[in-house]
Structure 1
Amino acid sequence: MKPSLPVQPNHIAILRLSALGDVCNLVPTVRALQRQWPHARITWIIGKGEYSLLAGLSGVEFVVYDKSTGLAGMRVLWKELADTRFDVLLHMQQAIRASVLSLGLKANVRVGFDKARAKDAQHWFTQLQLAPHPNAHVLESFMDFARLLGVEDDSLEWNLAVPPVAYDEARVISGDGPYLVINPCSNVRLRNFRNWSVEGYASVIEHAWVQHGLTSVLTGGGSSLEREVGDQIEALCQPGSVINAIGGTSLKGVLALIDNARAVIAPDTGPVHMGNAMGTPTLGLYATTNPQRAAPYLWRDFAVNAYPDAVSTYLHKSVDDVSWGQRVRHADAMDLIKADEVIAKLDALLAYTAAQPTTGPTHES
């Protein structure tokens, strides 16, 4: 017999370790749970880097798991929570590592994704599963957990915490003039293939500088690839049109930069969802992943969508013939995105937001 869901949960656990974009998309679910049950404790088990982005999120107790510590780190976490029993565990990570971690947590009921969305056999580790939701955006998939529990108000709210020191950091980098944030690289990992060309970015930066008077601030991590890409872009641009801050910011500093930017441009990576969470106009570049599933949620209409072309060119199928989460793992797929198309989308985004001021998510400082 399957356990029942609590009518009035007193302690809710959320298990979602990564990644930066995904945890941003999960925050509205947390806010929906808080509105429904304002006195419930919410404990979020989260990755180390992701915690540095969301630290200070109001009403949430974080338990940090450093994925590099493996099983030894799991045992430390299990010991930390040995005396804690959750009314419900929301298992929101479709990865075997997270499922193994969930085994050491005590919960009256464990909720996971439906079989169609439960990668790595996640449904074997949960007792109740979500109702099917074909073709759901990642944000909607997370919100389905709140809906299953009985949440009625699923309106979107973020209120990310950005401390004053982060705004100080951002001002030192950006100066006083208007600017774009461009995060040119996605996560550095095998067969990711989400990065656009340096020549394309240079063309967009030139256009933003000449036509809109906008400097472009480059952001990203400190990997050798990201630094190399930043240097290559900078070398192609006019002096003064670009500020290369790749490897030189904290995650909170990036949030502050994004908050004060005119717009964000990036491929399928965390900063597009950080922009979405901060209410900043955001232009995502998509060819290897489906923007209907993974684009910045509030700005999907402005995403550059070369995914159908990539599916046709490299998989020899139509979008309707591939699974919802299908990726196009081909090194040339992002070359299907043309600079003129990105420039046109940027012009449309800037015109739209100038005519209709953004009333997006809010933040705490």
Structure 2
Amino acid sequence: MKRVLVARLDSIGDVLLAGPCVRAVAAHAESVTLLAGPRGRAAAELLPGVDEIIEYLAPWIDPEPPPIAAEDVESLVKRIRNAEIDRALVLTSFHQSPLPLALILRMAGVPWIGAISEDYPGSLLDLRHRADGDPPEAERALSLAEAAGFRLPPGDDGTLAVRRPLPDVSALTGDPGYVVVHPNASVPARQPSLARSAELVRALASEGHRVIVTGAPGEPTAEVAGTSARDLGGATDLSGLASVLANAAVVVAPNTGPAHLAAAVGTPVVSLFAPVVPAARWAPYGVPHVVLGDQHAPCRDTRARECPVPGHPCLDALAPGPVLAAVAELTAITGGSQ
């Protein structure tokens, strides 16, 4: 294959989980174009194997979708046609359809398209793949690449990865070996309350851990850090955050993109996981991790954005003790924190 397009139109974590699939394609293609949404663009720039990025906000994927505009679709068709794509793989989560994008790819003249699809695709797909069971999302995406004839090269273990080298962030963090707490997620149902996160930071600091709190610009990380931790909220771009996470002994985070970024740089994760989506699919992949939170809570598998249960018990009923124990377990693997 000469030019292959891989599409993943979601957020940072979804794009990072597509990494093994992208590398499998890159091992057999002259160039790989990644079609990404604006929420995942920064992660696309970190993926090994990506040669070009096309950005498009897909109204059938984005959680805050704009109206569909003919001129936006026409512009995307033109960009894909100009890229002279030979094959395309459309990656989606189980609840998303690949067919709207497959139609656009056909309009752009892409001669061969593969995707995982439960819906009848007619002539939109050349490969209608079905993933058996309920695999982790990274394996689900990789299975599509394998079904299309793209396999990982020898020596690639199929875990998540980012481009190296990463920037030097030691001026922000000090020496390696700290514990990172990333308290926020893309939706409220997946993150503990600020009060619970701040309590956790204080508990970690009282146990002698050097704690760094990370977050995006505008997130209330200072409230979580208090006087017990260093607040790096909004202090880095995504590659800088990757470097902060790479030098941590352990990362404590909900189900959010930075948890997958920690996995991509090989750092163990204590996953504060709300069961609105299955941990089997979305827990940190390929690194030592501990999943905490009530996985049988009433919100299980609802994909809720706002917690439907008063008090958010799956995460806010989680005391610091189990988190401290999980951090101790995982820091033993990395040699401890300082």
TMscore range, shorter length: 0.7 to 0.9
For the residues of structure 1 that align with 2:288 and 2:176, how far apart are their CA atoms?
Answer: 27
> 2:76 aligned with 1:77, yes or no?
yes
SS in 2 for 1:232: helix
Gaps of 5+ in 2: 58-65
Distance 1:182 1:21, change over 3 A: same
User: Per-residue deviation at 1:350?
Assistant: 1.2
Q: 2:328 aligns with which of 323, 333, 347?
A: 347
Report if aligned partners of 1:112, 1:122 keep a CA contact under 8 Å in 2: no
Q: Report the CA distance between 1:49 and its aligned residue.
A: 4.1
- Verify: 1:302 aligned to 2:290, yes or no: yes
1:48 is matched with: 38
Counterpart of 1:257 in structure 2 is 244
**Partner SS state of residue 249, structure 1:** coil
CA-to-aligned-CA distance 1:102-148 (integer Å, 9 cap, x gap): 45432222111131xx7xx8888534221342211111111111220
1:114 aligns with 117
Return the structure number with greater helix share: 1
Partner of 1:330: 308
SS at match of 1:81: helix
Which of the numbers 205, 210, 213 marks the counterpart of 1:215?
210
- Give the alignment partner of residue 281 of structure 1, picking from 260, 268, 271: 268
1:233 matched to 2:224: yes
- Give the Cα–Cα distance (whole angstroms) in 1 for the partners of residues 5 and 31 of structure 2: 8
Are 1:162 and 1:255, in contact at CA under 8 Å, matched by a contact in 2?
A: no
Deviation at 1:279, TM superposition (A): 0.4
Are the equivalent residues in 2 in contact too, given 1:16–1:91 (CA < 8 A)?
yes
CA contact (8 A) 1:286 1:305 kept: yes
Contact 2:288 2:330 in 1 (8 A): no
Structure 1 counterpart of 2:90: 91
Deviations 1:73-113 (A, max 9, x none): 43223222324443321011335764564454322221111
CA contact (8 A) 2:114 2:125 kept: yes
For 1:302, the aligned partner's letter is V
Q: Does the C-alpha gap of structure 1 residues 125 and 181 become closer, same or farther in structure 2, counting only changes over 3 Å? A: farther
CA drift of 1:33 comes to: 2.5
Distance 1:193 1:122 in 2: 33
Say which SS state the counterpart of residue 335 (structure 2) adopts: helix
In the TM superposition, residue 62 of structure 1 has moved relative to its aligned partner by: 2.3
1:242, distance to aligned residue in structure 2 (A): 0.8
The count of corresponding residues between Structure 1 and Structure 2 is 314
Give the equivalent residue in structure 1 for 2:60: none
Q: Compute the displacement of 1:254 (Å).
A: 0.6
TM-score by length of 1: 0.75
Q: Kindly provide the amino acid, as one letter, of the partner of residue 217 in structure 2.
A: G
What's the secondary structure of 2:190's corresponding residue? coil
- What is residue 61 of structure 2 aligned with on the other side? none
- For 1:81 and 1:177, locate their aligned partners in 2 and report how far apart those are by CA, in whole Å: 43
Following TM superposition, the consecutive aligned residue runs of length 4 or more in structure 1 with deviations greater than 6 angstroms are: 121-124
Cα RMSD (Å)? 2.9
Are residues 1:105 and 2:104 paired?
A: no
- Percent identity between the two aligned chains: 22
**Larger deviation, residues 65-74 vs 254-263:** 65-74
Please tell me whether residue 62 in structure 1 is matched to residue 52 in structure 2.
yes
Is structure 2 residue 175 aligned with structure 1 residue 195? Answer: no
2:112 and 2:126 in contact (8 A); partners too: yes
Who is 2:13 aligned against? Answer: 21
Q: Secondary structure at the match of 1:253?
A: helix
Structure 1 position 260, deviation (Å) = 1.0
Partner of 1:322: none
Structure 1 residue matching 2:183: 3-state secondary structure: coil
Please tell me the residue identity of whatever aligns with 1:303.
V
Residues 57 and 298 of structure 1: CA distance in aligned 2, closer, same or farther (over 3 Å): closer
What letter corresponds to residue 325 of structure 2 in structure 1? A
CA distance in 1, matches of 2:81, 2:43: 27
Once residues 281 and 123 of structure 1 are traced to their aligned partners in structure 2, the CA distance between those partners, rounded to angstroms, is 43
After TM superposition, give the deviation of residue 59 of structure 1 in Å: 3.8
